[in-house]
Amino acid sequence: MTKAGVIVAGCLALAAGLMAQGPGMGQGQAPPSLVAEVQTMYNTVRGYVTKAVEQFPEDKYTWAPTPQVRSWARLVGHIVDDQNGACFALAGLPERPARLETEDTPNSAANKMTKAQLQKALVDGFALCEKAFAAVNTSNMLERQGMRSKIGLLMFNTSHTNEHYGNVVTYMRLQNMVPPSTAGRTGM
């Protein structure tokens, strides 16, 4: 490992340690690995997106808040495409799965899919990322995977999925629905 790699690894380990320290973290407890920390964040947003897609009514799947933004089906398709694109190589696939959001119009393939088909595609995309997480560990996380390190790719995918969960929340609120991330809170 290069000197820069050692510095990056040290910074990442420090960041993971700081992020892991919370009310439940006592003296002497080792923080989880950076890979485990990122996977915990990923699993949280994955759960929210999965629940939201289950909740959203099928008759609203081609609805879009304005003509300038994706329909709900295209938003889900985009999230699936992101999971597949970020995780296929780490998961051991030779090529990226076919895209669902095929064009920036109502004719997109995602708009022609049923709720059940989109839910299955989402589950499959998330499963692909689970395989990717299983293939990354503290020994290989800094190896290059294209333009990013392996852990960097998983971090990017996690943050991008979370970014689109923000869209999901807005779509749900516009349909007078309570998003999964706030459903359990009192007073909501």
Structure tokens at 187: 């007073």
- 142 and 178 in a single domain? The answer is yes
Count Cβ atoms within 10 A of the Cβ of residue 172 and give its class: 0-12 exposed, 13-18 middle, 19 or more buried: buried
The pLDDT, as a whole number, for residue 138 is: 93
Name the residue with tokens 């689970």: 130
Full-prediction pTM beyond 0.75?
A: yes
- 149 and 68 in a single domain? The answer is yes
The conformation of residue 56, written as its DSSP 8-state character, comes to S
Q: Does residue 188 lie within any of the structural domains?
A: no
Give the chain's mean pLDDT. 85
Domain that holds residue 170: 33-183
Q: Does residue 74 lie within any of the structural domains?
A: yes
The pLDDT, as a whole number, for residue 2 is: 52
Domain count, the chain: 2
**What's the CA dihedral at 149, 125, 73, 41 to 10 degrees?**
-60
The pLDDT, as a whole number, for residue 130 is: 97
- Name beta bridge partners: 148: 145
- 69 and 146 in a single domain? The answer is yes
Distance between CA atoms of 79 and 122, rounded to whole angstroms? 8
Residue 46 in this model has a pLDDT that exceeds 70: yes
pLDDT tens-place string over residues 100-149: 987 777 778 888 999 999 999 999 999 999 999 999 999 999 999 889 99
- 126 and 176 in a single domain? The answer is yes
Are 77 and 101 spatial neighbours (Cβ–Cβ below 8 Å)? yes
The pLDDT, as a whole number, for residue 28 is: 57
CATH of the domain at 75: 1.20.120.450
